[in-house]
Amino acid sequence: MARSRLYFDYNATAPLLPVARAAMIEAMDLPGNPSSVHGEGRSARAIVSHARDRVARLLDVPAAQVSFTSGAAEAASHVLTPDFRMGRAPVRVSLLLVCAVEHAVVHAGGRFAADQITVLGVDSDGRLDLAALEAALKAHDPASGQVMLALQVANNETGVVQPVREAAAIVRAHHGLLVVDAVQAPGRMPLSLAELGADFMILSAHKLGGPKGVGALISAGETLMPAPLITGGGQEKGHRSGTENLAGIAGFGAAAEAALGSLEQVAALARLRDTMEAGMREAAPDIVIHSGNAERLANTSFFSLPGLKAETAQIAFDMEGVAVSAGSACSSGKIGESHVLKAMGADAGLGAIRISLGHVHTDAEIDAFLEVFRRINARRVERLGAEAAA
């Protein structure tokens, strides 16, 4: 019998939770459109409202501040715009500040022009340079419009937790706006929009055990909102037109509730990750675990093995039955250096392997992974020795 594969790529997509699947099936059995006023429509609308409540509880916000989208990419494109409204009054944002290690969808800057975007550096662990943020804000002319900072809660490659609260205080002192990408955080650390000090938050369902193709933009209030990206029927209070993805939203809500309940398991997840890293260090003393001493998500490890390209290692793991990433899932299929490693000043030439765990993983699965790691590393060591002797 073939050995079961090990799925260690939760930061790319977490497997669909049974509770999310059940909620989706229930929603798919309903014929009504959530915008219809008849009984079937009201039943569909009730599912959307229930899911909105569940997502709101995850972030400690009123349900009215949750707008559903087709995913994090759409939410980012929606909120990263120069055009906002405060009630009926237009509000102009003339400068977007982005951290150098942001996910590609945020790094692209949404609807801002290239000359309206400034990239801020990071330290060797990939944490935002707060002094650079302060300097950029001081240099900005408020007469030209407001300034916005886009910052991850936690990096998708390294797992490093950003100093969001400190950045929020600096931005607030300069009357700017803060958008946080919280895609990797639910279920792995506590989340509260108000405690982070953010104006907007981006979420994606499939990172926390919900379905692919649904996400949310969370706002700190209902007065200041970005100009709609998709207009038409006026769904989501006019913020995002288009018939709601009823099944996806239902699954998102169920996954959000599960993520809130899984926070008590974070310490156990960190123990598994630390056990894995200790085993890798024992087998390969020259391993480089990026940001290994920084505050990270409990489930994430990002490492390089000298002399072994990340793409080659990824294929080797896959052939041994282990699914891992060579960086971000959105770019790991492409040839190119990690912009995260480059921003950190690390050697980006070989790339790095990302391991991202879930709450379902066990000690036995970590042991199985380490067996595979030792075999791959042994082949690396043998090859490097032969090359040195040649």
- DSSP element (H, E) containing 256: helix 246-261
- DSSP element (H, E) containing 106: helix 104-107
CB atoms within 10 A of CB 4: 9
Tell me which of 3.40.640.10, 3.40.50.2000, 1.10.275.10, 3.50.50.60 is the CATH number of domain 19-261: 3.40.640.10
> Two tokens at 354?
């990302």
Residue 347 is predicted with a pLDDT of 85
pTM of the model: 0.94
Q: Label residue 56 left, alpha or beta by phi (over 0 means left) and psi (-120 to 50 means alpha).
A: alpha
Residue 222 is predicted with a pLDDT of 87
C-alpha span between 270 and 223 (Å, rounded): 39
Closest CA to 180 of 90, 262, 35, 75: 75
Sign of the Cα torsion 271, 164, 240, 261 reads positive
Closest CA to 211 of 27, 4, 8, 6: 27
Domain residue ranges of the chain, discontinuous segments joined by +: 6-15+264-389, 19-261
Residue 332 is predicted with a pLDDT of 43
Active site residues: 330
Closest CA to 23 of 247, 329, 227, 257: 247
Residue 327 is predicted with a pLDDT of 65
Residue 3 is predicted with a pLDDT of 54
Per-residue pLDDT of the chain (390 residues; tens, 9 = 90+): 345 899 999 999 999 999 999 999 999 999 999 999 999 999 999 999 999 999 999 999 999 999 999 999 999 999 999 999 998 899 999 999 999 999 999 999 999 999 999 999 999 999 999 999 999 999 999 999 999 999 999 999 999 999 999 999 999 999 999 999 999 999 999 999 999 999 999 999 999 999 999 999 999 998 999 999 999 999 998 899 999 999 999 999 999 999 999 999 999 999 999 999 999 999 999 999 999 999 999 999 999 999 999 999 999 999 999 999 986 545 445 546 789 999 999 988 889 999 999 999 999 999 999 999 999 999 999 999 999 997
> Two tokens at 229?
């990206």
Tell me which of 3.90.1150.10, 3.40.50.300, 1.10.3720.10, 3.40.50.10600 is the CATH number of domain 6-15+264-389: 3.90.1150.10
CB of 197 within 8 A of CB of 165? Answer: yes
